[in-house]
Amino acid sequence: MSPEFMTVAMFATLIIAIAFGHPLAFTLAAVATLFGLIENGGDVAGLFDMFANNTWGLMNNYVLVAIPLFILMAQLLDRSKVADELFETLYVVLGGLRGGLGLAVVVVCTVFAATTGIIGASVVAMGLLAAPALMKKGYQKEMSAGIICASGTLGILIPPSIMMVVYGGLTGLKETSVGNLFAGAIFPGLVLSGLYFGYILVRCTINPSLGPPISREEASSWSVGQKIVLTLKSLIPPILLILAVMGSILAGIATPTEAAGLGAFGALILAIINRKFSWEVMRESARSTLSTTAMVMMLFIGGKFFSSVFLFMGGGDVVADVLVGSGMNRWVVLLIMMGIVFLMGMFIDWAAILLVTVPIFMPIAMELDFDPLWFSILLCVNLQTSFLTPPFGYALFYFKGVAPEGYTMGHIYRGIIPFVLLQIAGLLILAAFPGLITWLPAIFFGR
């Protein structure tokens, strides 16, 4: 059968299998096995040799050791209640502004994103902590849901990010090393955070009923000096942890894997200082780390099987011929690739999207003379929307699981629409101003 037919048939089979609700990691592996056997004439031993070699190469990647360490750091931080203390402080400091509590959520999630690297902890923590407060103060449910879900997803982009570790392990390119990706993602993360902050401020200023301020009595119950002390006290611990992790990487003192170990140790110290540490906390953190790491690695293996078979049967060449050989302008090709990733994000987990698209799209991007780091960060920013876009946006279900009574999926779906549009606007800004991505890596790593 022709490579063109096999390419279409392989993706169609994957989409149908996912639609039936089968586990994604096993679906990727099963589809790869089916089409691999069709392509090589039923040579089971040859196909399994390919899978074994790919799995060995994957598991032999030292960079991936950072994944369980960053996940453990996030689990310990979640239990140390760092985000809780910061929100309670910003509740007092920003609550007197229109939309002030929503702004506090954005700030807390931005700081928390720079210490965790995964979104589940941020969305769940803010859903439990901030959603009742927002509801009590009369915030519109759609606005509250959108703020918490969108701000919580910053953890997948702002370093240290698990997605960046996975991406760096996939490409093997110097330009897209984990260190370069971490440095390149700092400003994009802040751009998105700034867009959320500005949107909430402007929207609630125009229509105060969407996000009314707290009462004057409550806002003035603390003096300016007390607010400064409270802010510093709640900000210093996470900032020190951020400097320890990111500072050691950007200064060239530690590799991302070593910095992840330092971060996990720092999170443990914070839990002890906040008197939240116990053997039960350690056991639960370790158990959650184990299950999350196993899930990520199973997706990694299934995705690696899928991409290796897809490339083996010539699917990568088919896609490249369609996009590059068509003579389309390279910016149109970029738009098509980003559109494909955006649509896949509605149905497929981010890790699987990376594992399927990066081996295909990265060579195309380099052939079109796009900067590999710039293209990679654009793709990762695009993937952040996958956590918000229905029907399978993970952040939406994380929030629904912990939201106070009265929030429906309708409120959540309507609430995230402006924030998805803001993410697309952020993507366009980064595409138009590539220096926002490439400047810091050039400073720290001499790109």
What are the tens digits of pLDDT across the range 177-236?
A: 888 998 999 999 999 999 999 999 999 889 888 888 777 666 566 666 777 777 777 778
pLDDT band with cut points at 50, 70 and 90 for residue 17? confident
Residues 206 and 197: their CA atoms lie apart, in Å, by 14
Question: Which pLDDT does position 198 carry in this prediction?
Answer: 93
379 vs 112, more confident:
379
The enclosing H or E element of 389 equals none
Question: Which pLDDT does position 216 carry in this prediction?
Answer: 67
Question: Which pLDDT does position 434 carry in this prediction?
Answer: 93
- Residue 119: CB partners within 8 Å, gap ≥ 6? 152, 153, 154, 155, 156, 387, 394, 395, 398
Residues 438 and 61: their CA atoms lie apart, in Å, by 25
Task: Report how far apart, in Å, the C-alpha atoms of 129 and of each of 84, 88, 136, 219 are.
Answer: 7, 9, 12, 19
Tell me the average pLDDT across 59-83.
77
Tell me the average pLDDT across 304-329.
76
55 vs 326, more confident:
55
Domain boundaries, the chain: 62-445
Q: Per-residue pLDDT for 244 more than 70?
A: yes
* Nearest CA among 4, 43, 130 for reference residue 407: 130
Residues 212 and 205: their CA atoms lie apart, in Å, by 9
Tell me the average pLDDT across 397-401.
80
348 vs 175, more confident:
175
Q: Using alpha carbons only, what angle is made at residue 114 by residues 109 and 116, rounded to the nearest 5 degrees?
A: 85
The Cβ-side half-sphere exposure at 148, using a 13 Å CA radius, reads: 40
Q: How much of the chain exceeds pLDDT 90, in percent?
A: 15
Q: How much of the chain exceeds pLDDT 70, in percent?
A: 94
Q: Encode pLDDT of 84-109 as tens digits.
A: 777 777 777 776 778 888 888 898 88
Q: Two tokens at 364?
A: 């195309």
* Nearest CA among 195, 176, 183, 242 for reference residue 379: 176
- Residue 338: CB partners within 8 Å, gap ≥ 6? 378, 379, 382, 427
Q: Encode pLDDT of 22-64 as tens digits.
A: 777 788 888 888 888 888 777 788 888 888 887 787 777 777 7
CB atoms near residue 147 (< 10 Å): 31
Residues 134 and 198: their CA atoms lie apart, in Å, by 18
- String of b and e for 77-87 (b: at least 16 CB within 10 Å)? bbbbbbbbbbb
Q: Per-residue pLDDT for 115 more than 80?
A: no
Greatest mean pLDDT among 247-256, 410-419, 425-434? 425-434
Greatest mean pLDDT among 11-15, 122-126, 220-224, 438-442? 438-442
127 vs 335, more confident:
335
pLDDT band with cut points at 50, 70 and 90 for residue 439? very high
* Nearest CA among 197, 208, 217 for reference residue 138: 208
* Cα-Cα-Cα-Cα dihedral sign, residues 90, 92, 98, 102: positive
Tell me the average pLDDT across 358-373.
89
Min mean pLDDT across 124-138, 210-224, 371-385, 432-446 is at 210-224
Question: Which pLDDT does position 426 carry in this prediction?
Answer: 94
Q: Mean pLDDT score of the chain, rounded to an integer? A: 82
Encoded amino acid at 217, one letter: E
Q: Per-residue pLDDT for 347 more than 80?
A: no
Question: Which pLDDT does position 224 carry in this prediction?
Answer: 67
Site of tokens 């946006």: 393
403 vs 83, more confident:
403
pLDDT band with cut points at 50, 70 and 90 for residue 80? confident
Distance of CA 128 to the CA centre of its chain: 20
pLDDT band with cut points at 50, 70 and 90 for residue 335? very high
DSSP helix/strand/coil, 101: helix
- String of b and e for 346-363 (b: at least 16 CB within 10 Å)? ebbbbbbbbbbbbbbbbb
